[in-house]
Amino acid sequence: MRKRKDPEAGLTPLELEIMTVLWRTGPANVQTVLSGMDGRELAYTTVQTMLNILHRKGKVSRRLKDRAYYYQPVLSRKHAIGQAISDMLDRFFDGSADRLVLSLLETRHLTKEKLQHIQELASKSEPKTKGVGHD
């Protein structure tokens, strides 16, 4: 018995490449996706198969136009990023964003200067509360 794929499962590296093309171009046929895969040499049938898999997974929709399917992302880039981050947090950091940030600091992927800049951006984006406990 075939195991059904989890619709909330993340994207494989090749699926992500294809979705990136679709996010950039909008609705596209197999040939357009293939030509949008910067320097990647894949067979037409490989891209076609991957688009059909993405369709079965519910990540793209498709419509027939002039004897060719045009595929359009159903999964937004923002949602895909959120899924990937949640997966990484769960797998490597027991769901803790704090542990992720500490790891980024320890491995020097995030400097104190960059962290300070992020904190400044975060404080600017915090919603302002009107008249609640402020005089």
Pick the CATH number of 1-95 from 1.10.287.610, 1.10.10.10, 3.30.70.1060, 1.25.40.10: 1.10.10.10
For residue 126, what pLDDT is reported?
Answer: 73
Residue boundaries of the structural domains of the chain: 1-95, 96-127
In this prediction the pTM is: 0.75
Check: CB of residue 100 under 8 Å from CB of residue 84. Answer: no
Per the structure block, which two tokens stand in for 48? 């076609």
- pLDDT, tens digit, 9 for 90 and up, residues 26-76: 999 999 999 999 888 999 999 999 999 999 999 999 999 999 999 999 999
Average predicted confidence (pLDDT) for the chain: 88
For the beta carbon of residue 36, count every other beta carbon within 10 angstroms. Answer: 17
